[in-house]
Structure 1
Amino acid sequence: MKSRSSSALDHLNLVAKLADLKEDHYRTLLTLSAMTELLMDKGILTPDELERKIASLDSELDELIVGALRPMP
């Protein structure tokens, strides 16, 4: 019976950690969105510049992932 209650407690702890991560993720995205809007409102960044940078970083990340998945010679 102990392993069952231990398993349930482990599951509960995992769910609590996931909830904390979701809250942290939400706060990070909220902060990033606010900063982006402020930069655009102040004319420091345009939506086109942001989109180009996003595309560039996404492409770089894809290349890194593909390179990491290739077998070493």
Structure 2
Amino acid sequence: MERYSPGTAMDIVHMAAKLGDLMDEHYRNTLALSTIIELLIDKGLLTREEVEHKAEELNQFMSHPSYPSV
């Protein structure tokens, strides 16, 4: 039976750096999407209600897989 080895201190530093990079990337992606949505609303191409309705629709789709689980 193998024992869990937490890795070296340097492994932990690298993992923390990768997590920080992912957080930065997530923030930039979220900001870009929010900006695009706000511009579409400002230009009258979408309403906030349409965006909210579609988000809820997609959330329901993702929350309930259409395939049977075993």
TM over 0.5: yes
SS at match of 1:45: coil
Residue in 2 aligned with 1:37?
A: 38
Segments of 5+ residues of structure 1 without an aligned counterpart are 1-5
Residue in 2 aligned with 1:3?
A: none
- Share of identical aligned residues, percent? 39
Counterparts of 1:11 and 1:67, CA distance in 2 = 38
User: Paired residues, what number?
Assistant: 64
Counterparts of 2:67 and 2:15, CA distance in 1 = 32
TM-score under structure 1 length normalisation: 0.81
Q: Hey, which of these two has a bigger chunk of helix by percent?
A: 1
Residue in 1 aligned with 2:3?
A: none
Deviation string 1:15-68 (CA, Å, 9 cap, x unpaired) is 00000000000000110110011000000010110011001000000112x846
Residue in 2 aligned with 1:15?
A: 16
Superposed structure 1 runs of 4+ greater than 3 Å apart: none
Counterpart amino acid of residue 30 in structure 2: L
Counterparts of 1:11 and 1:57, CA distance in 2 = 36
Counterparts of 1:67 and 1:7, CA distance in 2 = 42
TM-score under structure 2 length normalisation: 0.84
Instruction: Report the aligned-residue RMSD.
Output: 1.6
